[in-house]
Structure 1
Amino acid sequence: MRLRDPMPEFDGATDWLNSRGAKRRDLIEGNKPALIHFWSISCDLCKESMPQINELRDQLKNDLHVIAVHMPRSKKDMDLDAIKEAAKGFKITQPIFIDNAHKLTNAFNVKYVPAYYVFDADGKLRHSQSGGGGMTMLRKRLSRVLDN
């Protein structure tokens, strides 16, 4: 995805956890920016960054939509019970789009996890990054989007 691209639709989930599902229009109608983060149960960097994502989620719960997307990196990562167990262990309470068919992963053109996408209240991409670290940059970009 490129800056200012519209947020893709949330179609093709093999399952949802912590939600009955979310639609693009739900996120935009809420007139709040959104953070979409991709993770995988086999990703060590994802495990390291999850507490910081949870902190952002909790700090900004009234001002920011947060959606997690589980992107399997192997057949083993597709075990729904293992994903549920990991989500519970990582205290992921936000909606989780289970993307075993890589529908949303392909729509976002995600190559690596963790990956983060920040959309403004109009549903336009304002920031994206992937890989470990970078929480300072993510916080700065979120702050800038929230201030507008």
Structure 2
Amino acid sequence: MLLIIFVGALIAGVAGAFYLKRHYFDSMSLSRLNLVDLTGEKVDPKLFVGKPVVLVFWATWCPSCRKELPEFDRVRKSLGDDVLFVAISDEDLGEINEFVRSKEYGFDFYKSDSNLLFYGIRTIPRTFFFDAKGKLVAEAQKLITADELLGYIKQIQ
């Protein structure tokens, strides 16, 4: 009897996780973003439409994020202005600014006015790939290499 209950709970958990993943993927859109720039000024997410967008949710304390961001910047440099790279954290604006000042990344960093859970983000880094019309095409829920990043970018160009 306990085995049946355990298996039932396991199936329900997997189904629920799949539903939530699908729900958040389907509902993630650039228009949902609630952002401010590094000076604290509100940002209109419509600014991100018109070019393919690589959008990464990250944090200053996240080792995988700190490893991934330089890779993103190298790829960004190789592509020029063809793809927009955006990095979003929900941390304190002072912490984000301190981190950004200590690096020389060529893409834009923003603070989310909403907790990352609002976007369904439970782990970071988490990267979303939007085409030039703002349609979500793909996502990565892990640290990705430059080669993997280029593969995703091909899908949105």
**Superposition TM-score tier, normalisation by shorter sequence:** 0.7 to 0.9
Match of 1:96 in 2: 109
Contact 1:40 1:113 in 2 (8 A): yes
Match of 1:8 in 2: 31
Higher helix share: 2
Compare relative contact order (CA 8 Å, sep 6+) and give the higher one, 1 or 2: 1
Unaligned runs of 5+ in 1: 73-77
1:107 positional shift: 4.6
Regions of 4+ moved over 3 Å: 3-6, 18-22
Contact 1:117 1:125 in 2 (8 A): yes
Are the structure 2 counterparts of residues 117 and 66 from structure 1 closer, same or farther at C-alpha, using a change threshold of 3 Å?
A: same
Equivalent runs, 1:30-109 vs 2, <5 Å: 31-72=50-91, 78=92, 80-99=93-112, 101-102=114-115, 105-109=116-120
Between structure 1 and structure 2, the one with the greater Rg is 2
Instruction: Determine the C-alpha separation between the residues in 2 that align with 1:95 and 1:43.
Output: 18
Q: Alignment length, in residue pairs?
A: 134
TM-score, scaled relative to structure 1: 0.75
Deviation by residue 1:45-92 (Cα, 9 ceiling, x = unmatched): 1111111011122222321111110133xxxxx3x3332121122323
Match of 1:75 in 2: none
Aligned partner of 2:139: which letter?
S
2:137 to 126, 130, 141: 126
Are the structure 2 counterparts of residues 5 and 98 from structure 1 closer, same or farther at C-alpha, using a change threshold of 3 Å?
A: closer
Instruction: Determine the C-alpha separation between the residues in 2 that align with 1:5 and 1:86.
Output: 26
Matched position secondary structure for 2:32: coil
Q: CA RMSD in A?
A: 2.5
Instruction: Determine the C-alpha separation between the residues in 2 that align with 1:133 and 1:66.
Output: 14
1:95 positional shift: 2.3
TM-score, scaled relative to structure 2: 0.71
1:100 positional shift: 5.4
